[in-house]
Structure 1
Amino acid sequence: MANILLIGLGDLGSLIAREAMQQGITVYAMRRQSKSPAGVHLIQHDATAPWPILSDRIAGSAGISDLILCVAPDNRTDDAYRQAYLEIAAQAREWLRQQPQPVHLWLVSSTSVYGQQQGEWVNEDSPRLPERGTAKILVKAEDFWLQSGLPCTMLRPAGLYGPGRDMLLRVARTGQKIVETQPVYTNRIEISDCARAIVHLLLRRQQGRKTASAYNLTDLSSARYRDVIQFLQQQLDINATTEQIVQRGSKRVSARRLQQTGFNWQYPDFKTGYLSML
């Protein structure tokens, strides 16, 4: 089994590392902080600066087969996104060019690259026409890799939820009844399923299976926002007493391409995922 290099060890990155190690993969990881999951070969370094030579730190002669960029921006500003997705990309490309053998690049992007707002279904071939500045930076980062001539795959997670990621639970606890002026859809994936999906795709590639240029990482049930909040309030025994009008555009994200690879969700819809949390 080849080695992988993971840039970023936040919530999702740490889960990817643990899942990869469970599958017998040796994980090297780069981050600024000194903490890492047990078993990870940590390289403490700021990935926006030129990367150190790693050949003397990698055991055996296999080298690195896959590089995963999974860096969460420090905040939601355009500058933070440029640093996380563009500055690190420049250093990563320079490092990739120095490798003696091809390394497959995986960029953890987001379904926010799709700008559709009328409840349409989108898949990996849908136009990427985002309106927000941060999402435009993600598109720029994706194009940086897709046009690089290097082997690469864009990974586009939907909204992550799970332990420590309880935004919709907090909304439900406000006791407000959601009223939509038009259908508002929410696309989500439980965070451990997201990590499992990424390692699943990585293993398929290492086994010689065809790898697409992009995958949406979402569950099998795009749902109405009001239905999710109402379900959570029922589980929490909360009586919604005041109305909150929600008026915004949304889209429905297809997971068909991921499903066709044979991936099995532990939490195929929001109900199974949130019941596990509760």
Structure 2
Amino acid sequence: MARVLIAGCGDLGCRLGVSLSEKGHEVFGIRRDASQITAPIHPIEADLFSQLPELPENLDYIFYIVSAPSYNDVSYYKAYVMGLKHLIDALKDQSPKHLFFISSSSVFTQSEGEKVTEDSPAEGKNFSSRRLLEGEELALNAPFPGTVVRFGGIYGPGRTYLIDMVLQGKAHCMEDVYSNRIHSEDCVGLLEHLMEQPNLDPLYIGVDDEPTLTCDVYEWLAEQLSVSNIEHREPTENSRAQRSNKRLSNAKVKATGYQFKYPSYREGYSELLESL
């Protein structure tokens, strides 16, 4: 069994850590408030944005799952660049088998509904994508093997923003705009699966099987919730320029053998609605 370190043990990190622990791996988690780390993960109370304490020895796998606390350049720099620099420096005397850096599909800026794969260009059009790409480059140039996973929009337990908006009658959608998502359980399953693979590429996209027009998702949710019709809006030229509109492909990660528990929003949201 492996010794695993999860840097940034928030919701997704704790879910991953618990799942790996249940499979027999020894898991350590870094978080500023260690009391928020779920057992049986071994907690490490530390701030990734300052000097880290001595880390456990002989670590095999590292997962960097950090989110920016606010939407500004300083927060993104600390979360995706500074924190990773500190972690890599703290691991300088170790030789882990692999580092996984969790990024975002927002670095793909296609806006005409194009199909997007790992080979499609990504651009630092704004501070958030620039910092994400900077962090990706750090991860891929670390002194040990690294892989970047770019997740689409994550939903699942505790991530019910879209359901809440529909219920409150505040949801509106733009016509002809595609969205891409992944259930949080598939995020965990996908990362576990990649950890077990012998030969990894530098980059994988993490989304479900079905890029979907945003209005179709809203309308489906409204029907399930018995809510009146969703307001549709025609995108303006300005909103089209600012909003991504792409169809992300998960073919590469599926080629590794991963099978999605929630292949589309219907399966994932159906279960969430039942729990609500």
Is the TM value for this pair above 0.5? yes
* 1:120 counterpart = 2:114: yes
Q: Which residue of 2 aligns with 1:253?
A: 248
The 2-side partners of 1:70 and 1:126 are apart by: 23
Contact map agreement 2:14 2:37 (CA 8 A) in 1: yes
Asked if residue 18 in structure 1 is aligned to residue 18 in structure 2, the reply is yes
Q: Distance in 1 between matches of 2:152 and 2:44?
A: 29
CA distance in 2, matches of 1:186, 1:54: 39
Q: Deviations over 1:78-120 (max 9, x none)?
A: 1111111111111122122221x34411101111111111111
| Alignment of structure 1 residues 21-40 onto 2, 5 Å | 21-33=21-33, 34-40=35-41
Question: Does the aligned pair in 1 maintain the 2:29–2:43 contact within 8 Å?
Answer: yes
Q: Kindly indicate whether the alpha-carbon contact (under 8 Å) linking 2:174 and 2:232 is maintained by their aligned counterparts in 1.
A: no
Q: Is it true that 1:202 corresponds to 2:191 in the alignment?
A: no
Task: Evaluate the alpha carbon distance shift between residue 92 and residue 103 of structure 1 in structure 2; reply closer, same or farther with a 3 A threshold.
Answer: farther
Shift of 1:165: 0.8
Give the whole-Å Cα distance in 2 for the aligned partners of 1:169 and 1:245.
22
Map of 1:44 onto structure 2: 45
Q: 1:45 to 1:258 in 2, by over 3 A?
A: same
What CA distance in whole angstroms lies between the structure 1 residues aligned with 2:188 and 2:75?
A: 23
2:93 and 2:151 map into 1 onto residues whose CA distance is: 29
Q: Quote the RMSD (CA, aligned, Å).
A: 1.8
The reply on whether 1:231 has 2:232 as its aligned counterpart is no
1:267 corresponding residue in structure 2? 262
Per-residue deviation at 1:9? 1.4
CA distance in 1, matches of 2:178, 2:153: 12
Q: Cα offset for 1:50?
A: 2.0
1:162 paired to 2:156:
yes
Identity of aligned residues (%): 31
**How far is the alpha carbon of 1:241 from its aligned partner?**
6.6
1:137-188 CA-to-partner distances (Å, cap 9, x unmatched) read 101111122234531000111100011111221332244685645x201100
Runs of 5+ consecutive residues of structure 1 not aligned to the other structure: none
TM-score calculated relative to the size of structure 1? 0.90
- Residue number in structure 1 paired with 2:208: 219
Aligned 1:29-178 pairs, distance under 5 A: 29-33=29-33, 34-55=35-56, 63-99=58-94, 101-175=95-169, 178=172
What is the identity, as a one-letter code, of the residue corresponding to 2:126? R
In structure 2, runs of 5+ residues without a counterpart are none
TM-score normalised by length of structure 2: 0.90
Q: Secondary structure in 2 aligned to 1:171?
A: helix
